[in-house]
């Protein structure tokens, strides 16, 4: 019920105030250094962390080629003194190699860049303008230039100019309303607007019309912007589609190539059709930096694939959209300006408009931050069709059409925060002009945004006939002076969250959002919102009693009353940072309500965490301190109790166990699984179908799915991480495949649960992970359909005393005694490689000198040791490269890969100590270690080899297993040495067959060891004749994990690894 005697502030004054506030709204972010800041002939150098000579930067990883339109010749070698004339010269097959770069001098290059060679991680193929010079790649050809005389333009009676059609025809796709076709005519740099129709229309200055059909145009009629004779002007016509696109495909979304870098170029006047873009990233790992993509027929830049970066670009006045992101994982758009796009008003064949600042579809785990999206004739930022698990923050979104930020159609689990959304323009109905819109999407977070002066509603949430919307949180936003248009609805519209057949499941929370200029009495919150003129709540909005505490009167102090006791004046709370897109708004320290708890309505539970899941602070002025929740002190402080961290389970070795997507659960083996927590993004899935292969059906009947991650605080150390799965959605191999990363390194690839186990059957996989930063980070990445997991168990290997040191070497350095007393020998027992060193201090250690030298390249160590089990520790510090993925390598021990995709920078950063340990079984008297390159050459600063704890000291006896009788296998040629083949299947759920060969009759022992070197089974122990043999391993009594199978025969040895999955 409303009690203010005076009406709301007049719209005229509000609009004036809003316009004045706009000048204060700018993205706030950390200071950045861009290439353009470095001056002529210089680029920002990622390696040195400062500006450097362009030739030094671009030639570091390969050959630098030069292009100069004015002086070059394509028959020359492309050197600085004898450059090429065209960029296309670099497109020849075999010309460029990974790491090569093409440096282009000033000019307009009327050609396409279609590289045939892809780069590699850490060795990108680069195309760059010379810093300080303007290089334009144009899709248009010149029709005529000033001073060229009569060029075929004939003036008509209506003042237009006709030219016979002499260029390639460009058939259209979709419709473009008044600008239907995709031809481009440009006069003196100004793009003309196209008119449609089969009959010649009235043509105004700056317009053109094409006579004839799409496939057979006969003439073009134009009027130049200033009415001048086009025979005396520079006239251009668009003829090329994809201005930067890998050669292997013809469309952006199907490229197999990647790892390109494009710097400082300008791309203009592409005639690409539909939603194809002038510039495409390729499939993976590309960087598009500080380019301009302007006045193209369709789109500007498109990201697809994964691990792409667009940074510091200007994408403006493109016919459909500025920066599109389609099916991209782990991609970033940052510090860019996206302005004035969708001027052609493109629609698909169904008449649906799909343009604007940037449409993001099918994209996951990606970030859109610190950009400006302004003046686009469509939504500023548009997440659509399964764009899930993304972060949108710190963006300035101004004067776009229809919606500022739109989240639509199963775009779930996104986080939209600290954006400033202003002046969205109204378009024809109540559903447009909206600041932030959520439709048919679940589980999104909208927090700490400033939504100001939009012609439509500040916020619209709900479902429609395509589906429901549930579980989103709209939290702690500032909505000011919205709904300015006469028919634009309300400040906030909460609509029915589903179609007529399912009119709605509840929204969880729309709370503590300030809506300026409103006053409330504190009664039933649902009644208040439904009757308040500035809210519209649909009767079908089930669960809308969660819409409480928006501009409570407890935040507003009545200081004036009329004779009837009605409030005539309110003292508003003082707001801090109302226009700050990064810090968000909150009560000022001096506000009369800062830090005050407000009594909750009866039956409303307190909210214990803020919008990001952190425990809410109690100090006045802190973000979250003013939010509704709890009772007045002292009860107010009780809600700050933190959640307990991971606790050891009943087995003693479990440090964390979680039932992904489900509640707390105790398994048959006594493991206590916590309710799902410590995750980021994703959504839950469940089934009631029974799960085969387990008695813990309930554990496998729920899952977290999509693109998601877990971050688990654990002490530094090495852990066995078990992932539990059951496929209850898809019913065919290859339908769902995904990868799992741990600590930035892929530990499980191409996981296909159905292919391995079938439907509705328990399936477990285990990986060994070393943690050095106090947090176990797990990421689940999509290959085909989205990843999922039903449970995660983290085991710490049973602690054991460190064994005696068998060997310690200071790789690349001299003898050295460490702070713990370990005596390292000067570098020896190596093969190949070279020495690297630095004087820079190394963090994370007091033994700087040990980590300041390294052996690098491709190399090996051969260390004579007695047969046995060893713990081998590798010590690293990255002091050369400063980017994740720049250097990755693998390490083999005894012919088996023990560490894969080692990326020291990704794990620890630059110049920081980082150690990894592997357990190795030696049976031939020599510990052989090989360092193998993935991207840049491997490195190691030191190696320590310790004897593992003697198996006789282990507290647990070996598991008693019965091995079946050895079977003589099929006849086959015998090798010259004892041979043990890889177990089959591997991984196994219980039973595996091992095939081995004896070149002569021998005494044979085959045993199975765990990763601490403890024997867990003996499969064979006795005399065997020469030939091929098979023996079966039955692991039903063993826990899931990685085991070593060792064959000893008359002084010869062979080993294989076996993974036991559940």
Q: Say which CATH number the domain at 989 has.
A: 2.60.40.1930
The pairing of beta strand 979-980 with beta strand 991-998: antiparallel
Task: Count up the domains in the chain and report the number.
Answer: 4
**Is 271 among the domain residues?**
no
Q: What CATH number is given to the structural domain containing 233?
A: 2.60.40.1180
876 φ/ψ sector (left φ>0, alpha ψ -120 to 50, else beta): beta
Query: Is this prediction's pTM over 0.85?
Result: no
Q: Which pLDDT belongs to residue 353?
A: 65
Q: Which pLDDT belongs to residue 153?
A: 96
Average pLDDT value over all residues in the chain: 76
pLDDT of 952 > 60? The answer is no
Q: Indicate the range of 59-63, 237-241, 506-510 predicted with least confidence.
A: 506-510
* Whether residue 783 is found in the same domain as residue 867: no
CA atoms within 13 A on the CB side of 740: 25
* Whether residue 721 is found in the same domain as residue 751: yes
pLDDT of 624 > 60? The answer is no
Residue ranges of the alpha helices (H) in 532-686?
A: 635-638
Q: Which pLDDT belongs to residue 316?
A: 96
* Whether residue 829 is found in the same domain as residue 782: no
885 φ/ψ sector (left φ>0, alpha ψ -120 to 50, else beta): left
The Cα–Cα gap between 703 and 685 comes to 5
- How far are the Cα atoms of 507, 514, 604, 627, 628 from residue 600, in angstroms, in the given order? 19, 18, 6, 11, 7
* Whether residue 666 is found in the same domain as residue 791: yes
Q: What is the mean pLDDT of residues 543-562?
A: 42
DSSP string, 659-670: ETTS--EE-TTS
pLDDT of 1 > 60? The answer is no
* Whether residue 859 is found in the same domain as residue 969: no
Q: Which pLDDT belongs to residue 490?
A: 62
**Is 66 among the domain residues?**
no
Q: Indicate the range of 12-26, 71-85, 645-659, 1014-1028 predicted with least confidence.
A: 12-26
Q: What is the mean pLDDT of residues 34-43?
A: 93
Q: Which pLDDT belongs to residue 953?
A: 29
Q: pLDDT tens digit string along 768-814?
A: 888 887 789 898 988 777 899 999 999 875 444 456 788 999 999 99
Q: Indicate the range of 178-192, 479-493, 935-949 predicted with least confidence.
A: 479-493
pLDDT band at residue 144, thresholds of 50, 70 and 90?
Answer: very high
Q: Which pLDDT belongs to residue 139?
A: 94
**Is 575 among the domain residues?**
no
* Whether residue 975 is found in the same domain as residue 871: no
Q: pLDDT tens digit string along 373-429?
A: 999 999 999 999 889 999 998 888 999 999 999 999 889 889 998 788 888 998 666
Domain stops at, among 173, 207, 238: 238
pLDDT band at residue 561, thresholds of 50, 70 and 90?
Answer: low
Q: Which pLDDT belongs to residue 136?
A: 98
**Is 22 among the domain residues?**
no
Q: Which pLDDT belongs to residue 506?
A: 37
Q: Indicate the range of 16-20, 486-490, 782-786 predicted with least confidence.
A: 16-20
Q: Indicate the range of 70-84, 384-398, 502-516 predicted with least confidence.
A: 502-516
Q: What is the mean pLDDT of residues 306-310?
A: 93
CA atoms within 13 A on the CB side of 283: 14
pLDDT band at residue 117, thresholds of 50, 70 and 90?
Answer: confident
The Cα–Cα gap between 364 and 350 comes to 27
* Whether residue 737 is found in the same domain as residue 765: yes
Q: Which pLDDT belongs to residue 4?
A: 24
pLDDT of 615 > 70? The answer is no
pLDDT of 954 > 70? The answer is no
Q: Which pLDDT belongs to residue 521?
A: 23
Q: Which pLDDT belongs to residue 578?
A: 47
* Whether residue 1007 is found in the same domain as residue 937: no
Q: pLDDT tens digit string along 897-928?
A: 888 888 888 877 888 888 888 888 888 888 99
Domain stops at, among 217, 238, 259: 238
**Is 867 among the domain residues?**
yes
Q: What CATH number is given to the structural domain containing 891?
A: 2.60.120.430
pLDDT of 89 > 50? The answer is yes
pLDDT band at residue 673, thresholds of 50, 70 and 90?
Answer: very high
The Cα–Cα gap between 877 and 666 comes to 42
* Whether residue 944 is found in the same domain as residue 1023: no
**Is 879 among the domain residues?**
yes
Structure tokens, 201: 């229309």
**Is 787 among the domain residues?**
yes
* Whether residue 932 is found in the same domain as residue 977: no
Q: pLDDT tens digit string along 312-329?
A: 999 999 988 999 998 898
* Whether residue 882 is found in the same domain as residue 763: no
Domain stops at, among 188, 207, 238: 238
Structure tokens, 135: 């290089």
From the list 470, 417, 464, 465, the residue with the least C-alpha distance to 441 is 470
The Cα–Cα gap between 536 and 495 comes to 8
Q: pLDDT tens digit string along 973-987?
A: 677 778 888 887 777
* Whether residue 771 is found in the same domain as residue 715: yes
Which uninterrupted H or E stretch holds 55? helix 54-58
Determine contact, residues 701/724, Cβ cutoff 8 Å.
Answer: no
Q: Which pLDDT belongs to residue 318?
A: 92
Q: Which pLDDT belongs to residue 991?
A: 83
**Is 315 among the domain residues?**
no
The pairing of beta strand 805-810 with beta strand 942-947: antiparallel
**Domain that residue 911 falls in:** 805-949
Q: What is the mean pLDDT of residues 709-721?
A: 83
pLDDT of 992 > 80? The answer is yes
pLDDT of 289 > 90? The answer is yes
Of 919 and 651, more confident: 919
Of 971 and 510, more confident: 510
């Amino acid at each position: 019920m409303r009690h203010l005697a005076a009406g709301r502030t007049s719209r005229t004054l509000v609009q004036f105030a809003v316009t004045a506030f706009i000048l204060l709204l700018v993205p706030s972010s950390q200071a950045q250094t861009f290439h353009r800041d470095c001056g002529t002939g210089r680029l920002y150098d990622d390696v040195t962390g400062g500006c450097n000579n362009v030739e030094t930067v671009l030639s570091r990883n390969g050959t630098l080629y030069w292009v100069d339109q004015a002086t070059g010749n394509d028959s020359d070698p492309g050197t600085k003194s004898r450059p090429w004339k065209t960029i296309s010269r670099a497109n020849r097959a075999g010309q460029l190699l990974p790491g090569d770069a093409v440096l282009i001098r000033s000019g307009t290059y009327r050609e396409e860049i279609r590289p045939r060679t892809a780069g590699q991680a850490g060795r990108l193929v680069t195309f760059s303008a010379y810093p300080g010079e303007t290089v334009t790649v144009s899709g248009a050809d010149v029709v005529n230039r000033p001073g060229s005389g009569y060029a075929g333009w004939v003036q008509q009676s209506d003042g237009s100019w006709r030219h016979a059609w002499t260029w390639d025809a460009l058939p259209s796709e979709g419709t473009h309303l008044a600008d239907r076709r995709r031809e481009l005519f440009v006069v003196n740099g100004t793009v003309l607007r196209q008119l449609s129709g089969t009959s010649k229309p009235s043509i105004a200055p700056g317009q053109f019309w094409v006579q004839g059909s799409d496939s057979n145009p006969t003439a073009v009629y134009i009027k130049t912007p200033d009415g001048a004779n086009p025979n005396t002007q520079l006239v251009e016509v668009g003829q090329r589609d994809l201005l930067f696109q890998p050669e292997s495909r013809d469309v952006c979304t199907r490229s197999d190539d990647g790892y390109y870098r494009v710097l400082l170029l300008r791309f203009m006047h592409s005639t690409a059709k539909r939603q194809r873009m002038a510039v495409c990233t390729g499939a993976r790992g590309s960087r598009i930096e500080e380019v301009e993509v302007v006045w193209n027929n369709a789109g500007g830049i498109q990201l697809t694939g994964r691990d792409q970066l667009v940074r510091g670009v200007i994408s403006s006045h493109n016919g459909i959209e500025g920066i599109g992101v389609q099916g991209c994982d782990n991609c970033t758009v940052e510090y860019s300006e996206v302005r004035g796009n969708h001027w052609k008003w493109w629609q698909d064949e169904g008449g649906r408009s799909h343009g604007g600042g940037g449409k993001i579809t099918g994209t996951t785990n990606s970030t859109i931050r610190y950009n400006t999206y302004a003046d686009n004739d469509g939504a500023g930022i548009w997440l659509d069709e399964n764009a899930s698990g993304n972060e949108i923050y710190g963006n300035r979104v101004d004067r776009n059409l229809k919606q500022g930020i739109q989240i639509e159609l199963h775009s779930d689990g996104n986080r939209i925060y600290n954006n400033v959304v202003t002046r969205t323009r109204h378009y024809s109905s109540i559903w447009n002009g909206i600041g932030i819109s959520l439709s048919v999407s679940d589980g999104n977070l909208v927090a700490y945004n400033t939504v100001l002066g939009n012609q439509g509603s500040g916020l619209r949430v709900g479902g429609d006939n395509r589906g429901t919307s549930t579980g989103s949180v709209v939290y702690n936003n500032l909505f000011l002076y919205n709904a300015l248009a006469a028919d634009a609805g309300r400040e906030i519209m909460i609509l029915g969250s589903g179609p007529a057949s399912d009119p709605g499941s509840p929204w969880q929370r729309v709370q503590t959002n300030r809506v300026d200029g409103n006053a409330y009495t504190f009664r039933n919150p649902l009644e208040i919102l439904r009757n308040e003129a500035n809210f519209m709540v649909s009767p079908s909005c089930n669960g809308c009693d969660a819409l409480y505490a928006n501009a409570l009167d407890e935040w507003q102090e009545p200081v004036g009353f009329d004779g009837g006791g009605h409030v005539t004046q309110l003292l508003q709370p003082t707001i801090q940072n109302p226009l700050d897109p990064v810090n968000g708004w909150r009560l000022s320290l001096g506000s009369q309500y800062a830090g005050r708890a407000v009594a909750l309505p009866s039956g409303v539970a307190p909210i214990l965490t803020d919008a990001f899941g952190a425990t809410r602070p109690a100090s006045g002025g802190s973000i979250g301190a003013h939010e509704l929740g709890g009772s007045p002190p002292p009860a107010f402080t009780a809600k700050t109790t933190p959640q307990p961290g991971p606790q050891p389970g009943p087995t003693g070795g479990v440090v964390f166990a979680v039932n992904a997507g489900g509640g707390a659960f105790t398994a048959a083996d006594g493991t206590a699984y916590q309710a799902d927590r410590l995750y980021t993004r994703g959504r839950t899935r469940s089934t009631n179908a029974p799960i085969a292969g387990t008695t813990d059906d309930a554990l496998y009947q729920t899952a977290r799915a999509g693109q998601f991650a877990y971050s688990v605080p654990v002490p530094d150390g090495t852990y066995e991480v078990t992932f539990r799965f059951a496929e209850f959605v898809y019913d065919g191999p290859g339908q769902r495949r995904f990868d799992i990363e741990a600590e930035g390194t892929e530990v499980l690839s191409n996981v296909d649960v159905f292919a391995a186990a079938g439907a509705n059957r328990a399936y477990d996989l285990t990986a060994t992970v070393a943690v050095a930063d106090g947090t176990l980070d797990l990421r689940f990445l999509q290959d085909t359909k989205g990843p999922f997991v039903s449970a995660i168990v983290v085991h710490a290997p049973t602690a054991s005393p460190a064994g005696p040191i068998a060997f310690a070497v200071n790789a690349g350095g001299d003898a050295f005694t460490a702070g713990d007393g370990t005596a390292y020998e000067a570098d020896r027992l190596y093969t190949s490689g070279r020495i690297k060193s630095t004087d820079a201090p190394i963090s994370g250690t007091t033994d700087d000198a040990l980590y300041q030298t390294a052996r690098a390249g491709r190399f090996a160590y051969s260390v004579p040791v007695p047969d046995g089990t060893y713990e081998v520790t590798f010590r690293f510090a990255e002091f050369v490269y400063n980017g994740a993925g720049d250097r990755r390598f693998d390490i083999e021990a005894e012919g088996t890969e023990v560490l894969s995709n080692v990326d020291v920078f990704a794990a620890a950063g630059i110049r920081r100590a980082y150690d990894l340990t592997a357990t190795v079984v030696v049976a031939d008297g020599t510990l052989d270690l090989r360092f193998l390159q993935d991207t840049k050459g491997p490195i190691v600063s030191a190696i320590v080899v310790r004897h593992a704890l003697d198996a006789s000291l282990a507290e647990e006896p070996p598991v008693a297993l019965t091995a079946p009788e050895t079977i003589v296998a099929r006849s086959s040629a015998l090798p010259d040495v004892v041979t043990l083949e890889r177990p089959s299947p591997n991984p196994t759920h219980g039973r595996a067959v091992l095939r081995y060969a004896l070149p002569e009759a021998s005494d044979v022992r085959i045993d199975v060891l765990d990763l601490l070197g403890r024997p867990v089974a003996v499969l064979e122990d006795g005399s065997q004749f020469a030939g091929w043999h098979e023996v079966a391993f039955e692991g039903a009594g063993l826990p899931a994990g990685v085991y070593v199978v060792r064959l000893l025969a008359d002084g010869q040895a062979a080993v294989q690894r076996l993974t036991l999955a559940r």
